[in-house]
Amino acid sequence: MLKSISDELTEYFKKYQIIRKLGEGGMGVVYQVFDPQLNRNLAVKVISSAGNSKISKRFLREVEITAQLDHPNIVKVYNSSVYNGKLFMVMEYIEGQTLKDHLETSSLSISQRVEMMIAVAKAIHYAHEKDIIHRDLKPDNIIVKKDGTPYLMDFGVAKMRTSKSLTATHESIGTPLYMSPEQANGSRKIDLRSDIYSFGVILYEVLCGHRMVAGDSTMNVLYNVINEKPVRPTTVNDEVPQILEDVCLKAVEKKKNKRYATMQELIADLQQYLNPQSEMLYFLRKKWSKYQKPCYIALILCFTLISILFVRQKYQAHLLSEYNKNIEERSRKFQEYVKNKQYNLAMQQLRKLSVSEDDYNYQLAHIMYQMGQREALETYEKIASPPKNDFLFRGKLLFLNEMYEDAIDEFEKQLNFIDRQYLALESDDKYAKKSLQESKRLTLGYMGESFFHLKIYDEAIKSLEETTNEKGFFLLGSSYFFKEEYSKAILFLNKANEKYAKNYHRCFRLAQCLLQGKAWKQAIPLLSICIDEQPWQAKLYKYRGQAYYDLGDYENSYNDFVKLSQLDAGTKNYNHGHSYVGYFLNIVISSENPKDHHKFAYRMINHLKGIYAAVDQDLLAEQKRVLYKGIVKPQFAPLDTKSLDHFIDILQQKNIRHKFYVWQSLVWRLWPIGQMFGND
C-alpha cells in the first residue's frame, strides 16, 4: 500500500525526489521530498481516502485556510492537487520535533519557554486577524526547530469566523485534553476564545511539565474539562512565577467572558514577565533623588503597614489552611465511606461538606441509588442544573423505579453520546476506545434487562448478544426460555453457573429446558435446589416426581407425590393438587410393570383416603348419585372401560375434586389387590 502511494507520488511529482516517509496517521502519509530546481526540502501530505467526503472536506479546508496565511511561525502550503483518487498537498518542510518532544530533550529556562510560546501566540493572533480559528491547538501541532523556533501547523479542522455554524450541535471538534469547555459540550458558539483556552492549556503544560487535565477515559477527560478547576501551576511547579500563573488561569477560565478577549492581550502579559520594568517603577527611580527624604518616610510607613498586613494575612492564611484541611479530611472520609459501601455514614459525612445544593443532591442521589432506594430519582430531579450527558445514571434511576420504557430512552441517548465520542477520537487512541466500548457494553446490559422486564425478548437478546457477565448470560438464557428456544436457553443459563448457581429462576428454567429434552437426571438436582428455595411450590414436586419415575426411581417418585398431596391438604387446594395425584396414578397404572407399580398406587390411595376422608362430606347426595350410578362396580368385577371413560368425562366437566376414587376403582379392577396384599 505504502509502496504504491510512493510510486504514484514519484509518477505525478516527477520533479521531486522522495527522501523518506516522515509519518503516517489516520488520514494518510507525509513524505519528505527534495526539489532540485529550487534546491530545498519539502513535505508532501498524501491522503488516500479521496472518496471519503469528511476527510476530503477536512483536507480541502486545510489547503484553503493555510494558503491564506503567510507568517514566519506558520507552516506554509505551496501547492495541492488530486491524482488517481488521492489528494496531495505540498508544504514547507521543518526539520525539528514536536513541542512535547522538544521540551523533553531540551533544558529550557522559564524565560526561554515563555519566549517560544509568545512566538506561537503571535502566529495564532495572526490567524485570528484573518478571521481563522484553529480549533485543534495541541503540542503535536507545534513543530520546533533545533534553534528553538516554533511553527504552527495542521489547520485541518480550522474554520473562518464568518462561517454560518462553526460546529454542528453536540459535535465535539478538537482533542479532548486541550478542548475548551464549550467545545467539549458540543456548543455552536465557538470563537477565538476557544483557541485562547487551548493555548492556555499548552502554556500550563510547558511551564509545569505536567498536563492540566486528567482522566482515565475520554468521558472522564471531557467531564473534567467542563466541571473541574485546574490545579494551580505553582502547586505543581513552585518555580513558576506568580505572573505566569495568573496568565495561565485567566486563559483557561471555564466561562469565555472571563478569559482574555484577544490573543494580543495575553501576549502583552507574557511580555510583561520578560520585561517587568513598568513605567511606574521607572518614574520612581528617576525621581528618587528629588524626593528621597519623603520617600524614606513613606517607605517606613509602608513597611509598618505591610508588616501589619503580613501578620494579619499570615493569621488568615493559617485559619484558611486549617479550614481547608478540615474540608479535605471530610471529603476523604466521604469517599472512603462510599468505597466501603458504608452509605449511611457517607450521607452523614456529605451533610458536613461545604458543597452547592446541586452537588449535594447529585452525590446524595448516587448514594441512594447504591442503597437501592427508589427515592433517588426524586432527589436527582431536584438538581437545577444536572450534569450534561448524564444519560446512563438517569437511566439507571428510572430502571430502579421500574420505568423501563423511559429508562430505554435514556440508554439510547447514552449510546448515541458514546458513538459521537468514538468518532471524535484520534485513530490511535486505543485506551480511550476500549473505555468507550466497555461503557457501551454496560449500557447495552441495562437496556437488555429493561427489554426483558417489558417481555420484549427479541430486543433483549439483541442488546445482550455481546454480554460477557453472568447476569447477561442469565437474562439471555431466560429470554430464549420464554421464546421456547430451549437449546439456546440451556447454553446461556449454563454459563451463569457461579453467581446464579442457586438462583431459583435460573434453576427452574434450566430444569424445564432439560425436561423438554428428557434429560431427567440433569434436571433433578436443579429441581431440588428450587425446592430448597421455595418448598411450598407444589409444581416442583410434580416435575421432580415425574423425573424420578421416568428414571425408574419409584420410591422417590412416590415420596414427591405424597409430599404434593400433603401440601394441597394443608392449603385446602384439593382441586389443584388432586390433578397432580391423579397424574401420578395415571403413569403408574399405564406402565408396563403393573405388579410393582400398583404397589405404589395402592399405597397412594390408602394415603389419600386418610387425607381426603372429610372431603366426601362436601358432596351433595344428588351429585353422588349422578356421578356413581352404574359406574363404580363391585371391587372384583370386570373393568368397565366405557363407564370409566364416561365417569372421567363427568369429573372433567363438573370439576369435581374426587378423581382418586376413579383410580382406586381402576387399580382394584386391573389387579386383585386384596389377594396380593391381604389386609395390608
- Indicate whether 137 and 215 sit together in one domain: yes
Name which of 115, 55, 119, 111 is nearest 82 in CA terms: 55
Asked which of 254, 277, 300 is the last residue of a domain, the reply is: 277
Asked which of 66, 92, 118 is the last residue of a domain, the reply is: 92
- Indicate whether 49 and 140 sit together in one domain: no
Of 661 and 244, which is predicted with more confidence? 244
Within-domain flag for 652 = no
pLDDT for 285 equals 43
pLDDT for 448 equals 92
- Indicate whether 64 and 198 sit together in one domain: no
- Indicate whether 217 and 241 sit together in one domain: yes
pLDDT for 670 equals 40
Region 113-139: mean pLDDT is: 92
- Indicate whether 54 and 103 sit together in one domain: no
pLDDT digits (tens, 9 = 90+) for 525-555: 999 999 999 998 888 998 998 898 888 787 8
Within-domain flag for 555 = no
- Indicate whether 136 and 250 sit together in one domain: yes
Of 296 and 562, which is predicted with more confidence? 562
pLDDT digits (tens, 9 = 90+) for 497-525: 888 888 999 999 999 999 988 898 999 99
Quick one: cell of 617?
A: 362430606
Q: What is the DSSP string of 173-238?
A: -S-GGG--HHHHTT-S---HHHHHHHHHHHHHHHHHSS-S---SSHHHHHHHHHHPPPPPHHHH-T
Region 667-674: mean pLDDT is: 39
Region 307-314: mean pLDDT is: 67
Within-domain flag for 183 = yes
CATH number reported for the structural domain that contains residue 35 in this entry: 3.30.200.20
If you average pLDDT over each of 43-52, 128-137, 283-292, 559-568, which comes out highest?
Answer: 128-137
- Indicate whether 104 and 63 sit together in one domain: no
Domains held by the chain: number: 2
pLDDT for 99 equals 92
pLDDT digits (tens, 9 = 90+) for 446-500: 999 999 999 999 999 999 988 888 999 999 999 999 999 999 999 999 998 888 8
If you average pLDDT over each of 28-42, 309-323, 430-444, which comes out highest?
Answer: 28-42
- Indicate whether 115 and 75 sit together in one domain: no
For the cut 70, the answer to whether the pLDDT of residue 319 exceeds it is no
pLDDT for 5 equals 53
Region 201-225: mean pLDDT is: 88
pLDDT for 33 equals 92
Using 50, 70 and 90 to split pLDDT, how confident is the model at 586? low
pLDDT for 28 equals 75
pLDDT for 356 equals 73
Instruction: Tell the burial category of 269 from Cβ atoms under 10 Å away from its Cβ (0-12, 13-18, 19+).
Output: middle
pLDDT for 372 equals 82
Within-domain flag for 200 = yes
pLDDT for 249 equals 95
Region 2-13: mean pLDDT is: 59
Of 169 and 113, which is predicted with more confidence? 113
- Indicate whether 41 and 100 sit together in one domain: no
Name which of 166, 186, 168, 167 is nearest 176 in CA terms: 186
pLDDT digits (tens, 9 = 90+) for 372-422: 888 889 888 888 888 888 888 899 999 999 999 999 999 999 999 888 888
Using 50, 70 and 90 to split pLDDT, how confident is the model at 631? very low
- Indicate whether 132 and 86 sit together in one domain: no
Region 327-356: mean pLDDT is: 66
Asked which of 277, 305, 322 is the last residue of a domain, the reply is: 277
pLDDT for 671 equals 38
Region 221-239: mean pLDDT is: 89
Task: Write down the pTM of the prediction.
Answer: 0.43
Within-domain flag for 143 = yes
Distance CA 361, CA 53 (A): 46
Quick one: cell of 98?
A: 514536536
How wide is the angle at C-alpha 487 spanned by C-alphas 483 and 493, nearest 5°? 85
CATH number reported for the structural domain that contains residue 166 in this entry: 1.10.510.10
Quick one: cell of 505?
A: 429462576
The pLDDT mean for the chain works out to 76
pLDDT for 52 equals 65
Domain of residue 54: give its range: 2-92
Q: Tell me whether residue 45 is annotated as binding.
A: yes
Region 578-607: mean pLDDT is: 54
- Indicate whether 137 and 165 sit together in one domain: yes
Using 50, 70 and 90 to split pLDDT, how confident is the model at 1? very low
Within-domain flag for 445 = no
Name which of 658, 664, 662 is nearest 605 in CA terms: 664
For the cut 70, the answer to whether the pLDDT of residue 622 exceeds it is no
Within-domain flag for 76 = yes
Using 50, 70 and 90 to split pLDDT, how confident is the model at 656? very low
